[in-house]
Structure 1
């Protein structure tokens, strides 16, 4: 089990929820960024292993979608050749404040290795900056 594969699984499931369409769980319309923005907390953090959330309160519809994602995780893991037990933690924090969609995916594997990557826009992509020589570089979050 490579940590990069686990990070890929994390990005895939987090992006599917962020997209608002939910093809992974059947066509299911939701707006996690809108619900986060409408709250005083300004964020919703989703634990994909348990289906629990922290931060802003979620609507019944969004809570149902998150539980469906937690149930779909074993199938996604199997398609990537990993097991759910390879994860110690798999969460995504969706930020509702600001002008663009942004989420941070945190993965900790069973060996204790941890990574956190930030994605912006829809579809979620890692932010890009220009280095001192004018070359485009992805921002490393971990």
Structure 2
């Protein structure tokens, strides 16, 4: 299985929650960024496999949406031609900073390969930086391609 497909699924599900519309699950009017910004923790970390969160305490409706996303993961994976159990970790950390709404998606497969991608705004756009030659590139996080 291509690791890129897992990354794409991770972005799709995280971006759907970030949008506040949640068409994937039929839930409308969630505000993960607003809830994270109002909390002392300043973030909500969503585990899309377990359907749980940490950091800020979500409202009952957001907690229900997170659970529904976990239930929808299998169907989303099937549409992409992969199995949901290909993920060991699928999380997104939602926060608001001086640049706006931000979410960081972490994907780890069962071979230990991992990726962390950062997105800004809704819809989520990859955060970019300039390299040593002045070229605009996606912001890179530590990744691992080691199997356990």
TM-score by length of 2: 0.90
Counterpart for residue 106 of structure 2? 106
Query: C-alpha displacement at 1:41, in angstroms?
Result: 0.3
Query: C-alpha displacement at 1:89, in angstroms?
Result: 0.7
The Cα offsets for residues 40-84 of structure 1, whole Å up to 9 and x where unpaired, read as 000000000010100000000100111111111001000111101
- What is the aligned length? 142
Cα contact 2:21–2:28 (8 A) shared by 1: yes
State the alpha-carbon separation in 2 of the partners of residues 37 and 4 from structure 1: 31
State the alpha-carbon separation in 1 of the partners of residues 63 and 130 from structure 2: 39
Q: 5+ unaligned residues in a row in structure 2: which ranges? A: 143-148
Seen in structure 2, the aligned counterparts of structure 1 residues 54 and 101 have a Cα distance that, compared at 3 Å, is same
Counterpart for residue 47 of structure 1? 47
Secondary structure of 2:100's aligned partner = coil
Secondary structure of 1:96's aligned partner = strand
Aligned-residue CA RMSD in angstroms? 1.3
The Cα offsets for residues 83-102 of structure 1, whole Å up to 9 and x where unpaired, read as 01100110101013434010
State the alpha-carbon separation in 2 of the partners of residues 132 and 21 from structure 1: 39
Q: 5+ unaligned residues in a row in structure 1: which ranges? A: none
State the alpha-carbon separation in 1 of the partners of residues 134 and 87 from structure 2: 38
The Cα offsets for residues 4-55 of structure 1, whole Å up to 9 and x where unpaired, read as 1101100000000001111111151110000000000000000000101000
TM-score by length of 1: 0.94
- What is the correspondence of 1:116-131 to structure 2 with a 5 Å cutoff? 116-131=116-131
1:73 aligns with 2:79: no
